[in-house]
A and B are shown apart, each in its own frame.
Chain A
Amino acid sequence: MRVSITERSRVIAASFALFCLSIFLTAYTSSRAAIAGTGASLMGEVLGPAQFAYSSVTSTLSDIWNSYLALVDVEAENRSLREKIAALEAKLLSLSELEAENVRLARLLDVSVEHELEGLVARVIGYDASEWRQSVVIDRGRNDGVLPGMAVVERGGLVGQVIASSTGSAKVLLVIDPASGVDGVHQTSRARGVVTGDGRQASWDFVLREEEVQVGDRIFTSGLEGIFPRGLLIGTVSSVDERRSGLFKSIEVHPHVDFATLEQVFVVTSPAGTLARSAVATEREPQRRK
């Protein structure tokens, strides 16, 4: 296609003007999350049904495969599971005794007994169109009571928070996204810092050098940012680097949730100040640091 020099100059000038407009939009919307959230909600209305349909087809095919074609060694697995159930039932009996004792002691200490998190189960039906962002789309939306700001968990571990919701789907920003920030607290020393993602893992930033943190220690949500319930397990410390100069330690955290195989999640509809059950033991463990 032949284009005159004048036309080409106009196109380049228009491209430059649109580039400047894009920069302005980036700056303007980066501090106004509601604008991008509203846009994502509208996009969710269009894409949600298609994503749900695709996810339903693939999960049905996967179910067929698991139910009918992958029955190899099922008898041996069945026997092993029965043995595990027997062992777990025995353990459950002793745990129920411990729970009753825990409630009695809590009453004695005048500490209110925490309630379980309320919410609903959702299925992951899509991912972010950009490979640079770590977010997923779930099959529950505004119609189910899922709203931006709600926490999302999986087996007691923190997944992330809802950033946009349409009628039938919602977008969840994962805790491993670099744009995510969660106030994290150490399992025993109660040291605090901000857990931010790096795309695959997470780092626990702004932890003072004098705090005692070791590899394998667990980091929980503190609930202080007013978004996540307290006591959700974020992950375990995978490395601590004290060589770096400055006020803070450099700590890497391995997330508790396996984001590569995320299929079902639990959207927490309880208020942000709620204390998760997993925090009960943590809160009452003796302080390691004197």
Chain B
Amino acid sequence: MLSWRSLLVLLFLTVGAVLLQSTVLRSFLPSYLVPSLGVLLALYLALNQVSIGGALVVFGIGVLFDISSGLVIGPWAAAFVVIYGLVSSVHQHLFADSSLVVAIVAGATTAIANLVYTILMLDVAPPPEQVALLLFGQAIATGLAAPPAFMLLERVFAPRREYYRGGRARAVR
């Protein structure tokens, strides 16, 4: 169950992700090499927060990304919910402590999310060669960014999770 504090932290992280993607990262990297931070948030929740509440939060993250674009509300929400549903259904078979596994899953889910977005926005999609460049370029960039991003998210969320589960953190106390 997600606490109010976790929800606030996630809201802050989502707004921060939109800001990073729209300003900081875009001034250093070409658009097709900017990692999809929204996908990383959705993926982290799919691996660590499998619940209806988690699905709702991922949907909310997608809506915030849609709102920031100012065109249509829904496609990113749909894309993030799809990867949440897919990964949460197989998360017990994934060894999420391995950086390599996290990188591969992040790359694959980014490609899936971008594909869902393209299908939903087919009328205003770029030409196929640009779609391919964005699909694979961003999948690789997100895959590379996933292990450090997950370490950061672990630092933000893990201590509380361990505490509530009565795990390591309580033992330390």
Contact = CB atoms under 8 A, between A and B. Distances in A.
Interface of A: 1-3, 7-8, 10-12, 14-16, 18-19, 21-30, 33, 35-37, 39-40, 42-43, 46-47, 50-51, 54-55, 58, 125-133, 135, 137, 163-164, 171, 173, 177-179, 198-200
Given A36-B73, A51-B23, 12 more contacts: A11-B54, A15-B55, A15-B88, A21-B59, A27-B74, A47-B68, A131-B134, A131-B138, A133-B71, A135-B69, A163-B71, A179-B71
B69 A129 contact: yes
A40 B78 contact: no
B72 A18 contact: no
Interface string B62-89: 1111111111111111100110110011
A27 B122 CA distance: 12
Nearest to B59: A18
Contacts, number: 177
A98 to B, nearest CB: 43
Contacts of A25: 63, 73-74, 77
B134 to A, nearest CB: 6
11 contacts: A12-B85, A19-B78, A27-B74, A29-B72, A36-B67, A36-B73, A39-B73, A40-B69, A50-B23, A126-B23, A132-B117
B103 to A, nearest CB: 19
Contact of B52 (A10, A37, A42, A46): A10
Interface residues of B, number: 61
Given A1-B50, A178-B124, A15 B68 contact: no
Nearest to A170: B70
Instruction: Summarize B's interface: helix, strand, loop or mixed.
Output: helix
A177 B123 CA distance: 12
Contacts of B121: 132
Q: Which of B27, B65, B78 has the most CB of A within 10 A?
A: B78
Contacts of B18: 43, 47, 129
Which residue, B31, B54, B130, has most C-beta atoms of chain A within 10 A? B31
Contacts of B19: 47, 50-51
A215 to B, nearest CB: 20
A43 B64 contact: yes
Contacts of B71: 33, 36, 133, 163, 173, 179
Given A18-B56, A22-B62, A131-B32, A179 B124 contact: yes
Given A18-B59, A198-B130, A133 B69 contact: yes
Nearest to B89: A12
Interface centre among B15, B19, B72, B121 (most CB of A within 10 A): B72
